[in-house]
Structures are given as C-alpha cells and as structure tokens.
Amino acid sequence: MRNSLVKIAVIAALLATPALAAGTLAEFNAAVERAAAHYRVALGYLRTGNTDLAALEVERMRETWGQVARDFAQPPKEMAKDLQLYRNTMLDVGVRLVTASMMIDSGRAAVAADALRAIRNELSDLRKANGIVVLADCVRDANAAMDALYVFNDRDLDWSRPGVAKDLQARAASYGSTLKRCDGLADARTRADPEFRRLVDGAAASLTFIPKAIETRDAGLLHRVMIELRAFDHLLAFRYG
C-alpha cells in the first residue's frame, strides 16, 4: 500500500510540469550525472552514519531528478529502443528516492542505502539495454571485478592449492583491463582531473605488486595490496560510479 501511494505521489509530481521535447543523448547523460552525484554523496554519508546530511543529499537529488524526468519525459532517440523500460526506470528512480527519504527519517539507514544502490543499477541497466556505456557503468564493472579479486585477501592463503596463482593473476589482469577501459571512457576533463588520475593510476600501480606476491607467495604483501586496491575502488565508486 505504501509503495502504491509513493508511486502515485511521484507520478503526480512528474505530471505537474509540462514535458519538453526530447533532448540529445549527451544532454540526458549530463543531466543524469548531475543527479547521480547527489546519491553518491548520500551513500557516503550513510556509510559514515551522518544521516542528516544524507537526507539533505537525497532531497537535492529528488529535486534534480524531478527536473530530469520532466525535461526527458520523451527519451533521446538512442534510448527509445524499449520505451516501457525507459518509462519504468524514470519512475522507479523517483520512487526509490522517496523510499530512501522515508527510510532515513524512520532510522532505517541500511534500507535507504539499498534503495540508492538500486538506482545506480537501474540506470546502468537502462543504458546497457540501449547499447550505451558511460564512465559510471565502467566504474560499476570495475567494482565487480574488484569484488572478484578481493576474495584472495586472505592472510592464510594456501598457495599450494591448484590454480590459486593462475586465478589470482587472471582476476588482477581483469581488474586492470577494466580500469584501463574506464580511463578511456572518461571525458578529457575527467581524465585530466588530479583526483581521477590519483585513483586510476594509484590502483594500476598497486596491481604491479601482485606478480611479486605470487612469485614469493607473500600473503602479507598481497593483503596490503588488496587493502590499497579496495580503498581506491571505494573512492572510484564514490566519486564517479
């Protein structure tokens, strides 16, 4: 019942302002990125327990997303392949933002964070369905590759187990190639941003120590590298995912 009421409220808000003609894909991506910046910050605040500032960022995204939904009630032509998916996604993002606000207000920060993370996935899935990839999608892939690599963060790693070294090396290579792809997807301004360079180049530098850890079977070194990589990974998601 509550979800139904939330959806009705979101639909009413979106219909309150007349829709404009469809914009370009570049305009749509830029508008979505402006909105997405708020949920990244909100997730960061939720992670550190600062719910007041998280609530403020969610409210800001609700305002920004409302404008995106009105300006792009009609999708860019590149995203019109599945009109129902587009409309469902635009609506669902609004609903999840309302849900996140309600959950923060009721002291359920973990549920609010889940709602915000779902937004990232829905937007990425929408772009993927239309053959569109932006930096945020690549960062999402990098996060997944890092998750796969991080399973080797074990101080008691059994190097004698068949396939361990080969699997570790393959997963490290996969993460490295994904980071390289992300670097290539970034626009010129982002690619030159010192913070972006610090994260991407720092992660690439950390990866160079994994072959040494494998060669020397040094689980302690591998652990330190994994901690560094996870830190870079979290910051990439926070800033660009």
pLDDT, mean of residues 141-145: 96
State residue 68's pLDDT score.
94
Considering the domain architecture, whether residues 80 and 53 belong to the same structural domain is answered as yes
DSSP reduced 3-state for 20:
coil
Taking the C-alpha atoms of residue 14 and residue 68, their distance in angstroms, rounded to an integer, is 10
State residue 236's pLDDT score.
94
Over pLDDT 90: what percentage of the chain?
83
- Rounded to the nearest 5°, which phi and psi values hold at 209? -85, -10
Considering the domain architecture, whether residues 87 and 150 belong to the same structural domain is answered as no
Q: The tokens 């040094």 sit on which residue?
A: 218
State residue 20's pLDDT score.
46
pLDDT, mean of residues 161-174: 95
Question: Rounded to a whole number, what is the distance in angstroms from the first to the last CA of the chain?
Answer: 32
DSSP reduced 3-state for 90:
helix
For 175-204, what is each residue's pLDDT tens digit? Answer: 999 999 999 999 999 999 999 999 999 999
CATH number at 225 reads 1.20.120
Residue 155 has pLDDT above 70, yes or no: yes
Considering the domain architecture, whether residues 123 and 175 belong to the same structural domain is answered as no
Q: State both tokens at 217.
A: 């079977």
Considering the domain architecture, whether residues 105 and 192 belong to the same structural domain is answered as no
Domain that includes residue 110, residue range: 2-129
Q: State both tokens at 206.
A: 């950390």
This prediction's pTM? 0.81
Q: At what angle do helices 51-71 and 109-129 cross, to 10 degrees?
A: 30
Considering the domain architecture, whether residues 45 and 154 belong to the same structural domain is answered as no
For 201-214, what is each residue's pLDDT tens digit? Answer: 999 999 999 999 99
For 3-49, what is each residue's pLDDT tens digit? Answer: 544 444 444 444 444 444 557 999 999 999 999 999 899 998 998 99
Domain count, the chain: 2
For 67-90, what is each residue's pLDDT tens digit? Answer: 999 999 999 999 988 999 999 999
DSSP class of residue 204 equals H
Residue 144 has pLDDT above 70, yes or no: yes
Taking the C-alpha atoms of residue 152 and residue 213, their distance in angstroms, rounded to an integer, is 12
Considering the domain architecture, whether residues 82 and 196 belong to the same structural domain is answered as no
